[in-house]
Amino acid sequence: MALVDLTKQLAKEALLSAAKDPAPAPQAPAADPLGNVILGQIHAMQKALKEDEELTVWYGSGADRIRVFEIYLPTWKLAVLTGQDSERALCRVISPVDALQLVTRVVKAPAGSKPGRIGLVAPKTRD
């Protein structure tokens, strides 16, 4: 009699476990956000500069061309570029990070002046 009860119990457990949702498959780690990669690349280029060199970063949109002095990412998906246009007017570009196309160039700093550096501001992390 005990064998019959044991068999019923095992059958019941097998049916219940088969009816449960399967365990979720482990997910691959998320790739670095594109904004993080862009900031990392510009930082690495600046770090490799010699003392008399500076990195120029340009953003172009149609006929407008802006020399970028700061890249601020309020979130990893949105970029705010601050710089000057050809008439030396202060400009800001607000763009999704995945739509940015930047051109960089290493140039010699003007004689007697300190080489400029691009300001890089990443999003604040939530604690």
Residue ranges of E strands in the chain: 53-61, 64-75, 78-84, 90-96, 102-108, 119-121
The whole-angstrom separation of Cα 6 and Cα 51 is 80
Whole-number pLDDT of residue 22: 59
What digits encode the pLDDT tens for the residues 93-113? 999 999 999 999 999 998 888
DSSP, collapsed to helix, strand or coil, labels residue 87 as coil
Cα dist from 16 to 9, 21, 69, 117, whole Å? 11, 10, 63, 64
* Lowest model confidence (mean pLDDT) among 5-19, 83-97, 113-127: 5-19
Whole-number pLDDT of residue 32: 74
Residue 28 banded pLDDT, cuts 50, 70, 90: very low
* Lowest model confidence (mean pLDDT) among 11-20, 35-44, 49-58, 72-81: 11-20
The whole-angstrom separation of Cα 63 and Cα 93 is 14
Neighbours of 125 (CB within 10 A): 5
- Residue 93 near residue 81, CB atoms below 8 Å: yes
